[in-house]
Amino acid sequence: MSMINTHKKGFTIIELVIYSAGMLALLTVIIGLIIYMYGFYRDTTVGPRVDRIGVSVTDRITKDIRTGVSFNPDQSVFGSQTGELSLNAQSGETTLTKYIALQNNRLVYQENDGTVLYLTPADLTVSNFYLTSISTPVSEAVHFSIGIDFEKAKETYTRIYSGSAILRHSYE
Amino acid sequence: MYKRGISIIEIVVSASIITIAATFTVNSLIIYQQLAQTNVEKTQAALLAEEGSEALQLMRDNGWTSYIETIPVDTPFYIYWDTTAYATTTTEIASGDYIRKMIFSAVERDDSTGNIVESGTLDTDTRLYSIEIFPVNDPTDQLLYTEGLLHNVYD
Question: Which residue ranges make up each domain of chain A?
Answer: 30-171
- B146 in a structural domain: yes
DSSP label at residue A161:
E
In a domain, B48, yes or no: yes
Q: Say if the Cβ atoms of B40 and A51 lie within 8 Å.
A: yes
> Please, is B132 exposed, middle or buried when counting C-beta atoms within 10 Å of its C-beta (0-12, 13-18, 19+)?
buried
> pTM, whole model, 2 decimals?
0.80
Q: How confident is the model at residue A124 (pLDDT cuts 50, 70, 90)?
A: very high
Taking a C-beta distance cutoff of 8 angstroms, is the pair A111, A97 a contact? yes
**CA-nearest residue of chain A to B58?**
A136
Is residue A77 scored above 60 in pLDDT? yes
Q: How far is A134 from chain B (nearest CA, A)?
A: 7
- Establish if B1 belongs to a structural domain: no
Q: What residue type is assigned to position A46 of the chain?
A: V
- The Cα–Cα gap between B44 and B95 comes to 11
- A18-22, A150-154, B5-9, B21-25: the lowest-pLDDT one: B5-9
For residues A62 and B43, is the Cβ–Cβ distance under 8 A? no
- Per-residue model confidence (pLDDT) at position A8: 65
pLDDT at A6: 62
User: How large is the C-alpha radius of gyration of chain B?
Assistant: 27
| Cα B81 to Cα B23: distance, rounded to the nearest angstrom | 46
| Interval B40-71: pLDDT, tens | 788 889 989 999 999 999 999 999 999 999 99
Q: pLDDT category, B115, cuts 50, 70, 90?
A: very high
Task: Specify the 3-state DSSP secondary structure of A64.
Answer: helix
Which range has the worst mean pLDDT, A77-81, A161-165, B10-14, B37-41? B37-41
Chain segment B124-146, per-residue pLDDT in tens: 999 999 999 999 998 898 999 99
Residue B89 lies in a domain: yes
Mean residue pLDDT across chain A: 91
Is B18 a domain residue? yes
As for how many domains chain B has, the answer is: 1
pLDDT at A43: 81
Residues from chain B that touch A41, judged by Cβ atoms under 8 A, are: 29
Q: Shortest CA distance to A104 belongs to which of A86, A80, A120?
A: A120
Closest Cβ opposite residue A141 in set B47, B58, B84: B58
What's the pLDDT score for residue A41?
82
Count of A–B CB contacts within 8 Å?
Answer: 58
Q: Which residues pair with A129 in a beta bridge?
A: A82, A146
Higher-confidence residue of A26 and B39: namely A26
The verdict on a CB contact (< 8 Å) between B58 and A164 is yes
Cβ contacts of B54 on chain A, cutoff 8 Å: 141, 163-166
Give the model confidence (pLDDT) of A33-64 as tens digits.
898 888 888 887 888 889 889 999 999 999 99
**pLDDT at residue A113 is higher than 90:** no
DSSP string, B63-115: -IIIIITTSPTTS-BEEEE-SSSEEEESS--EETTEEEEEEEEEEEE-TTT--
The verdict on residue B17 lying in a domain is yes
| Complex-level ipTM | 0.77
- Determine the structural domain holding residue B144 and report its residue range: 8-151
Interatomic CA distance for residues A144 and A107, integer angstroms: 13
Residue A127 has pLDDT above 90, yes or no: yes
Which residues of A make CB contacts under 8 Å with B? 41, 44-45, 48, 51-52, 55, 58-59, 62, 132, 134, 136-139, 141, 143, 160, 162-166
pLDDT reported for residue A101: 97
Distance in Å, alpha carbon of A69 to nearest chain B alpha carbon = 16
Q: What is the pLDDT of residues B83-114, one digit of tens each?
A: 889 999 999 999 888 999 999 999 999 999 99
- Rounded mean pLDDT, A67-90: 95
Per-residue pLDDT band at A7 (split at 50, 70, 90)? low
Say which of B54, B81, B96 has its CB closest to residue A165: B54
